[in-house]
Structure 1
Amino acid sequence: TVSQKVDQPMTLGETLPDYYEENLHYWEEDRQQLHGALSQLEDKTQAAIEFVFLRELPRKEAAKRIGVSPMTVTRHVKRGLQELVTLMKSQASERLAS
């Protein structure tokens, strides 16, 4: 009971909610949604996003690996980011509706 715990020492960590664990759940959910949205992109657009953002390659290197010009990588990245925003918003709306 509460009265029994009054005299026992308690750390601040024991009294605060565990936001880290809660946030891990949300981060994992976001990661899964992003992966799902990425998989819906056209192959070269998906590759451009993955090389530039996830692998942090320069656009010139990404272009070599994809087989397009650096300018085309830039276009794929721009288009891909727009599509990801749309897809992620749609997924969020579906989640809220259910």
Structure 2
Amino acid sequence: MTQAPLDHWFVNQILIHETALLRYLHRHWSHPDEVPDLRQELYARVYEAAAKGLPTQPKAFLFTSARHLMTDRLRRNKVVSIEPMGDFDPSHVLIEDVSPERWCGGRQSLHRLATAFDQLPDRCREVVWLRRVEELPQKEVAKRLGISEKTVEKHIAKGMRLLADALSAEAGTHPLFAHTVNSDDVQHHAD
């Protein structure tokens, strides 16, 4: 798409939602002074994506992109990258008994956890993040999200169950667990 039609689309389909977008960002982002930067980064992302292909539902795309941007920012602020930097060699760690296999396995486990976390329902993911990662008290999470403490408890329980289910389901297909005994093997050996 050429510049002029894309600019026209952006103004008519995206910028018209700026007031609602700002309300959304202020409601869900705990650092109000960062909202203008979030908005600009979001607009850049949406514009770049639209240059490759226009979304069929621009408003939904805008707000979904905003949610993803905030999640990315939270993750970036809270998690130290597990990717090696520069000439970092996994064997140069403080704990000498960490083998390359164990180091790699830890990275894979973190990746599986991040993937499972991203698949949680939106509200559930927010609650789990605030409660387990940011370690906010249950009462503060309820206040921040405008829900009851009982609802926070339910989201935590659901989130933990879904994460455990996702990780255990993946573990069943993981090569390290390929030799686990299943019920058919037990029955066969019992005969």
- TM-score, normalising length from structure 2? 0.39
Unaligned runs of 5+ in 1: 1-17
Q: 1:40-55 to 2 correspondence within 5 Å?
A: 40-55=119-134
Question: How many percent of aligned residue pairs carry the same amino acid?
Answer: 28
- Size of the aligned set, in residue pairs, is 80
Equivalent positions of 1:50-89 (< 5 A) are 50-89=129-168
Match of 1:19 among 93, 97, 100: 97
Shifted more, 53-62 versus 25-34: the winner is 25-34
Cα shift readout 1:37-92 (whole Å, capped 9, x = no counterpart) = 01111111111111111111101111122221111011100111111111101111
Where structure 2 has 5 or more consecutive residues not aligned to the other structure, the ranges are 1-95, 179-191
- RCO higher in 1 or 2 (8 Å CA, sep ≥ 6)? 1
Distance across 1 between alignment mates of 2:104 and 2:141: 32
Cross-structure match for 2:169: 90
Task: Give the Cα–Cα distance (whole angstroms) in 1 for the partners of residues 97 and 104 of structure 2.
Answer: 10
The CA RMSD over aligned residues, in Å, is 1.7
Corresponding residue to 1:39 among 103, 109, 118: 118
What is the Cα deviation at residue 21 of structure 1?
4.7
TM-score scaled by structure 1? 0.71
- How far apart, CA to CA, are the structure 2 residues paired with 1:58 and 1:80? 17
Aligned residue type for 2:97: Y
Query: Alpha carbons of 1:33 and 1:68: their partners in 2 closer, same or farther (altered >3 Å)?
Result: same
CA distance in 2, matches of 1:29, 1:79: 24
